[in-house]
Structure 1
Amino acid sequence: MERKIKIEEPKTIISGAFKTGKSYLIYDFLSTFKPKEYLYIDFSDLRNEVIDVSKNLEKFIRMNEIIVLVLENFDFQFELPNCENIIISTLTPKKIRGFENIIINPLDFEEYLLHDNRHQNITQSFNSFLKFGNLPELINIDEHKRIHRLQEIIELQCKDETQYEIFKILIENIDEKKSLFQLFNNLKSKIKISKDKFYETCKIYEDNKSIYFLQKYNQKKSVKKIYVYNHSFLNAISHVKKFKNEFSNMIFLELVNKYKDIYYLDNIDFYIKSKNIAIVPIPFFNRFLMNNALKKIIKSAHEFEINEINIITISNNEKISDPKLKINIIPFYEWALS
């Protein structure tokens, strides 16, 4: 299936979190070559020994006139051989001179609709997207198996029980303003863990885009908000329902695909500095019940000279008049496709 991102350079390093579609991007690229022209090696395959590969790779490429080398799940354990095209997949981005870097995120809602052939209308697709998340493989799994598969994917990216507990506490705190020190202290009361191990693991998850830490605008020392690369992970690890948090995480993931300058403000969840826009997730918006909250949002927008506020909902659609601001109440599926 088509993705918005493609491999366009002969030497490319693809990185991204687990199960976001790195391999299928590579298969799509390889489909333009004849099988005898490429060599594909996956280092997560237990049959492939790094030492054997490194010893024989250069010679094999030369003897078989290989023009495309693919190294999947590569940890850069040996020097790269000479080859016209080299495509590497890895969890964590690495810069090498002459190589293009691509970071692949999960499906955004528009891509999800292209992949989703099961549902007859946009409402059904949206409900499935909201409940089970944005990973491509989940679309084709029977619904009763999806939560179990999400749990497996969470466990796959954790090398041990300690990493699992760290990842779990981060997921449990999505869309919350929590410092790493707070989370470390909470976790320390449950398991034996060093501060260095905790911070080091959080950095790994941040680097491979499994976890995002959103900064408050112009306040680097303020606590950051936490988001995870699949909003449905929370539903997979806990019976506690935090619908607003999951909905906000889903909206953040749509934004992170489009903008680099995303921040939060007091009373405003997402501030896009370059566009002078505020995005506020309120799943079930009621103008009369939320009048006080709306006043605070508008006040913050005026303070930062924001031009437009988009309040993202499940299904509400209306406009609110304001002399200085454009205020839209928009359903998620309409906003995500606009």
Structure 2
Amino acid sequence: MEILLEELYKTDIHIEKFHFRKLFLDKESYQINGISQSGKTKLAKNYLLGLKKSSYLYMDCSDLRIDLDLLNNTLQNFCYNNKIETLVLDNYIEAINIVNVQQLIICSEINYKIDFLNTLTLYPLDYEEFLAYEHKYDSSSLNHFFQLGGFPSMHKISNDSRAIYLQNVLRSTLSEVELDILIFCTKMMAQKISPYSIYERLKHIRKISKDKLYKSFENLSEKNYIHQLQKANHPKAIRKIYLCDISLKSALSIDKHFGKLFENMIYLELLKSGRECFYDEGIDFYLPLSEEVIIGMPFADERVLFKKIESIEAFLFTYQIKKVTAITMSKEGKMSHPISTVEMIPFDIWALGD
């Protein structure tokens, strides 16, 4: 094990062109949590490249050459003898003992809740981060975002290989049950669905216990492959399901529903901005702190928006909503209303403006 550690210590780190993210590392110790292909490794490696070569050790814990018992017996002494100040354990697993170094960075899909580590949750690219990968920003950028989604690696994958590439990534990361659940969730994107409903569907195609399915569903949620949105003031109501990235829709399903895809994209922007939101009947997103309602209406015009406002007027008065924002593909406009400011705004302007 000493030989492997020595080899890793001497090996130069290399990454292709790095595009800065909204999250960054400083001299504190961190655990970086995020789904596979969200950019955890690049974020950690880019940070290391700014340090003195002899001061750090980077190790991918999925390396098949690692013997866990030997590693646990040698890693602490190796770090001490080589005066390693920063240790990065990529693809960290709980079986590896935490060692005493000046700065520890672990990367994992799982949040291990280690007390002394600051937690950074890294999601796939939001629209603003995505634009850093574009050669130019014009009207084609949003359509390109719909095609590629938020996984940084997709910019290097040819169009004819993207679906299989994502499928292979998911196969290597998720269990068979988790993958089956995720595939079903792609078909139910932006709709209300309970774990029990998923169990009722999947038990006909695979032998599975309810407990195992519930646990797998919980794992997918904890690792942020799926997100659940609670109904306003009804915590026990069935929740809406959203995918971690819109690219999974076309990679795992042949179903087409642009409106649901658009709604999922809006949700991810809200999630990554840290704004608390809920759904209600006829209401895509209710933001209580800003007393705002957000509705995904990609191809709406003033007439369609007026009818929509009429259908949710009881909610607007009950919750004294100050602002209604209809997110569109390209349409802009305003409407008058007794208590709410009503505005149509294109997605790209809305996402970048916030």
**Structure 2 length as normaliser, TM-score?**
0.91
Q: Deviations over 1:201-235 (max 9, x none)?
A: 11111111111110001101111000111112111
Q: CA deviation at 1:23?
A: 0.6
Correspondence 1:255 to 2:270: yes
Structure 1 CA distance, aligned partners of 2:101 and 2:133? Answer: 34
Q: CA deviation at 1:260?
A: 4.4
Letter in 2 for 1:212: H
Correspondence 1:54 to 2:72: yes
Judge conservation of contact 1:42–1:72 (CA < 8 Å) in 2.
yes
Correspondence 1:132 to 2:148: yes
> Which residue of the other structure, out of 329, 334, 337, is the alignment partner of 2:349?
334
**1:108 counterpart residue number:** 126
> Which residue of the other structure, out of 178, 184, 187, is the alignment partner of 1:169?
184
Correspondence 1:235 to 2:235: no
> Which residue of the other structure, out of 166, 169, 174, is the alignment partner of 1:150?
166
Correspondence 1:29 to 2:47: yes
- Percentage of matched positions with identical amino acids: 30
Q: 1:229 to 1:79 in 2, by over 3 A?
A: same
Structure 2 CA distance, aligned partners of 1:250 and 1:154? Answer: 20
Structure 2 CA distance, aligned partners of 1:154 and 1:305? Answer: 43
**2:85 counterpart residue number:** 67
SS at match of 2:37: coil
SS at match of 1:182: helix
**1:4 counterpart residue number:** 22
Q: 1:313 to 1:220 in 2, by over 3 A?
A: same
**1:122 counterpart residue number:** 138
Letter in 2 for 1:254: E
Structure 2 CA distance, aligned partners of 1:328 and 1:10? Answer: 43
Q: CA deviation at 1:49?
A: 2.4
Correspondence 1:281 to 2:296: yes
Q: Deviations over 1:93-144 (max 9, x none)?
A: 1222221111111111001001222xx4432121111122111111232223
Structure 2 CA distance, aligned partners of 1:24 and 1:281? Answer: 33
Structure 1 CA distance, aligned partners of 2:343 and 2:204? Answer: 44
Structure 1 CA distance, aligned partners of 2:46 and 2:301? Answer: 46
RMSD of aligned C-alpha atoms?
A: 1.5
Instruction: Report which stretch shifted further, 43-52 or 250-259.
Output: 43-52
Q: 1:291 to 1:327 in 2, by over 3 A?
A: closer
Judge conservation of contact 2:291–2:323 (CA < 8 Å) in 1.
yes
Letter in 2 for 1:58: Q
Q: CA deviation at 1:292?
A: 3.0
Letter in 1 for 2:147: K
Structure 2 CA distance, aligned partners of 1:194 and 1:9? Answer: 46
Letter in 1 for 2:23: I
Point out where structure 2 has 5 or more consecutive residues left out of the alignment: 1-18
Instruction: Report which stretch shifted further, 255-264 or 15-24.
Output: 255-264
SS at match of 1:78: coil
Q: CA deviation at 1:323?
A: 2.4
Correspondence 1:210 to 2:228: no
Structure 1 CA distance, aligned partners of 2:337 and 2:307? Answer: 15
Instruction: Report which stretch shifted further, 249-258 or 149-158.
Output: 149-158
Structure 2 CA distance, aligned partners of 1:40 and 1:201? Answer: 31
> Which residue of the other structure, out of 208, 211, 214, is the alignment partner of 1:196?
211
Judge conservation of contact 2:177–2:216 (CA < 8 Å) in 1.
no
SS at match of 2:120: strand
Q: CA deviation at 1:286?
A: 2.8
Instruction: Report which stretch shifted further, 104-113 or 39-48.
Output: 39-48
**2:196 counterpart residue number:** 181
Correspondence 1:293 to 2:311: no
Q: CA deviation at 1:249?
A: 0.6
**2:15 counterpart residue number:** none
Structure 2 CA distance, aligned partners of 1:180 and 1:115? Answer: 37
Structure 1 CA distance, aligned partners of 2:284 and 2:172? Answer: 31
Structure 1 CA distance, aligned partners of 2:56 and 2:137? Answer: 41
Q: CA deviation at 1:28?
A: 1.6
Letter in 2 for 1:136: P
Structure 2 CA distance, aligned partners of 1:226 and 1:205? Answer: 11
Letter in 2 for 1:251: I
Q: How many residues get paired? A: 335
Q: CA deviation at 1:151?
A: 2.2
Instruction: Report which stretch shifted further, 168-177 or 141-150.
Output: 141-150
Letter in 2 for 1:25: L
**1:39 counterpart residue number:** 57
Judge conservation of contact 1:132–1:147 (CA < 8 Å) in 2.
no
